[in-house]
Structure 1
Amino acid sequence: MISSEIKQFEKYYTMLTEYLVTYSMQIVAAIFILLIGLWIAQKLANVVANLMTRHNIDITLTNFVSNVVKVLLIVMVIIIALGKIGISVTPFVAAIGAASLGAGLALQGMLSNYGAGLAIIATRPFVVGDTIEIKNVSGQVKTIELGHTTLINEEKVEITIPNKHIVGEILHNSFKYSLVKGEIGIAYNACSNTAINLIERALSTHQHVAEVPNSQIGIERFGDSGVIISYRYWVPTTKIIETKLAVNSAVYAAINNAHIEIPFPQRVVTLQKSECDNA
């Protein structure tokens, strides 16, 4: 039993020795090619990344392209090195092709997200910091990844949207701001111009109300109890709630301190006595 194992070991040792003697120079050349190829792949990937960065191309697309260049070069170098030591790469290529087909079918949804992510990065319908609305979901763009886009809304909730649900859909982009609407009623005998000036002053003094686009203030409609003045302004998407509450408080205080009457709904009820009641 032991002698057979020794003979088998000697057999493998002899085969390995003969292989090393026969292909020693090829093995050294293959290692040299592999090391030089890895160095060139890293350098070329860095060159591509720096070139795209200088042209202000999106960082996600820059990283993706540079990594693809690096991987392709490494694969080519490995194939050349294997061929140098007498190993046929044809079975590996066939296996890689079959595995790629199976992986493509299994990861079809993920790959479609990646394709949509590349389309978003290339066409740039929105960038980080913009406020978008897609499929009744809105928020400020926090990150754009190859597979998904992350939004953050006014409630500080992060929303992750697969990129395949963005490309090809109707998209609203208000850039870095969102529109906020408010209204307040004043009595018919009050001066509307004074109220409008007070509201304009309250909006202009708040730090989060945008100067551009300009705020819009005016008479919205004529109600049953008073004149309704509407005001519209733009604020950063993540500051909607706190800014709206603060602006409404400032508008109410300004109108109240100016002794402008704020009417409330009233109903006039008339009681009529019938002839039966008189009898």
Structure 2
Amino acid sequence: MAEQATAQSPTTASNYDAANLLKDEIDLINQLYEISVNFFANYSFQLIGAFIIFLVGYYIAGKVAKWVLFLCEKNKLDVTLSRFIANTTKMLMVVLITIIALGKIGVSVTPFIATIGALSLGAGLALQGLLSNYAAGFNIIMIRPFVVGDTITVQGVTGVVKEVLLAYTILSDEDGVQITIPNKHIVGEVLQNSQQDSLLELSVGISYDHNPVEVVKMLSPTISGLTVLSKDKKPQFGIDEFADSAIVLGIRLWVPTENLYAAKYQAYEEIYQALDNAKIKIPYPQTDVHLFKTEESI
């Protein structure tokens, strides 16, 4: 009998421990329940009020952002600048509304601000390159050295500006290739902005048998009548060089960047037809050798 009692004692102890553990869990659940009930009893109206404040404030922030965007577009501001101002306005309003809502339920925002400051410092050190792109993008948006639709040349790359973002600028060249340039490589560099057009420089040689002034006058209506020319800038053409085998005529045309090669092909075709119809010779490089016979002295 003693051995049986001894054998049962571990089981009894185990059951006792399980009962105590279950009791502790029940007590913990009861405490959490009481805390939850007391919290909602004391702060339910504050929670509901904070939630309503956040929802209404977020809705108002969206409406204000749309109104700001409308005003910017009405005053013909750049599309990128307009969107940036609208999004920044909405973000600031949401942050302010969140602080007000947290204060409504008694949450101090001071630790959050300190944490955000510390995280911002660490992120700033880790993301210097990215932040420099954002700073450069903000500079571009505010100063506006170029806008969407302009043709710019920077870092040896030429293209039409399709979109200006905070981190990078997107260009498109005459072949339709999309070019992405980080903004830090644009700010502080030499930037060429030809607005919406590109300069197309052509040359054609004519024989020395013809009067170049008369040929220029003859080509004037042909060049001015090209359909791909920019309407804002007039073409320039005249005698460019007296070369070895030809008189070179220079032609400068302003054309939309997207039609650069189409304009080049059309211009050369029209010029060739005009010269051919007028029987103007286009010489090829050649060298004339003259032999003189001299009498040998005796």
Give, in whole Å, the separation in 2 of the partners of 1:28 and 1:185. 84
Q: Hey, what does 1:276 align to over in structure 2? A: none
Q: Which residue of 2 aligns with 1:121?
A: 141
Same amino acid, percent of matched pairs: 44
Distance change (3 Å), C-alpha of 1:31 and 1:158: closer
What amino acid is aligned across from residue 212 of structure 1 in structure 2?
D
SS of equivalent to 2:241: strand
Displacement of 1:204 after TM fit? Answer: 2.2
Partner of 1:193: 213
- Aligned pair count reads 275
Match of 1:161 among 178, 181, 189: 181
Does the 8 Å contact 1:134/1:170 carry over to 2?
Answer: yes
For 2:244, the equivalent position in structure 1 comes to: 224
Q: Secondary structure at the match of 1:260?
A: coil
Answering whether residue 285 of structure 2 is matched by residue 265 of structure 1, we say yes
In structure 2, the partner of 1:151 is 171
Separation of aligned partners in 2, 1:61 and 1:264: 54
| CA distance in 2: counterparts of 1:8 and 1:102, whole angstroms | 40
Deviation string, structure 1 residues 234-257 (Cα, Å, up to 9, x no partner): 111111112112211221221122
Aligned-partner Cα distance in 2 for 1:196–1:94: 74
Q: Which residue of 1 aligns with 2:201?
A: 181
1:137 maps to which residue? 157
Q: Contact between 2:78 and 2:147, CA under 8 Å: does it hold in 1?
A: no
Paired residue for 2:96? 76
Report the residue type matching 2:197 in the other structure. Y
Q: Deviations over 1:126-157 (max 9, x none)?
A: 11221111122112212222221112222222
**What is the aligned partner in structure 1 of residue 108 from structure 2?**
88
2:64 to 33, 39, 44: 44
The one-letter code matched in structure 1 to 2:285 is P
Q: 1:260 to 1:48 in 2, by over 3 A?
A: closer
Matched residue, 1:171: 191
Change (3 A) 1:238 1:5: same
Alpha-carbon offset, residue 106 of structure 1: 2.3
Question: How far apart in 2 are the matches of 1:20 and 1:49?
Answer: 41
RMSD: 2.4
Alignment correspondent of 1:99: 119
In the alignment, does 2:277 pair up with 1:254?
no
Shift of 1:211: 4.2
* In 1: Cα distance, 2:165 partner to 2:134 partner: 9
Aligned equivalent of 2:11: none
Among 61, 67, 75, the alignment partner of 1:55 is 75
Relative to 1, partners in 2 of residues 1:193 and 1:99: Cα closer, same or farther, differing over 3 Å? same
1:35 to 42, 55, 65: 55
Gap change, CA 1:222 and 1:84, over 3 Å in 2: closer
CA distance in 2, matches of 1:104, 1:231: 52
Counterpart contact for 1:198–1:251, Cα < 8 Å: no
Aligned-residue offset at 1:13: 0.6
Q: Distance in 1 between matches of 2:231 and 2:68?
A: 40
1:108 aligns with 2:128: yes
Cα 1:135–1:261, aligned 2, differ >3 Å: closer, same or farther?
same
Q: Counterparts of 2:39 and 2:126 in 1: how far apart (Å)? A: 41
Change over 3 Å in CA distance of 1:43–1:260 after alignment to 2: closer
> In the TM superposition, what is the alpha-carbon distance from 1:263 to its structure 2 partner?
1.8
- Give the secondary-structure state (helix, strand or coil) at the position aligned to 1:208: coil
1:74 and 1:185 map into 2 onto residues whose CA distance is 67
Are the structure 2 counterparts of residues 234 and 268 from structure 1 closer, same or farther at C-alpha, using a change threshold of 3 Å?
same
Aligned partners of 2:80, 2:23: CA distance in 1, in Å? 62
Q: Which moves more between the two structures, 241-250 or 52-61?
A: 52-61
Match of 2:29 in 1: 9
Deviation at 1:89, TM superposition (A): 2.6
Structure with higher Rg: it is: 2
Distance 1:22 1:162, change over 3 A: same
- For residues 185-234 of structure 1, the C-alpha deviation after alignment (integer angstroms, 9 at most, x for no partner) is 22222132332134322222321022432111111121222322221111
Q: Equivalents in 2 of 1:156, 1:27: separation in Å?
A: 54
CA contact (8 A) 2:78 2:148 kept: no
Contact 1:60–1:146 (Cα < 8 Å) also in 2: no
**Whole-Å Cα distance in 2 between the matches of residues 218 and 83 of structure 1?**
76
Per mean C-alpha deviation after superposition, the further-off stretch among 247-256 and 50-59 is 50-59
Choose 131-140 or 54-63, whichever is displaced more.
Answer: 54-63
Q: Distance in 2 between the 1:73 and 1:12 partners?
A: 36
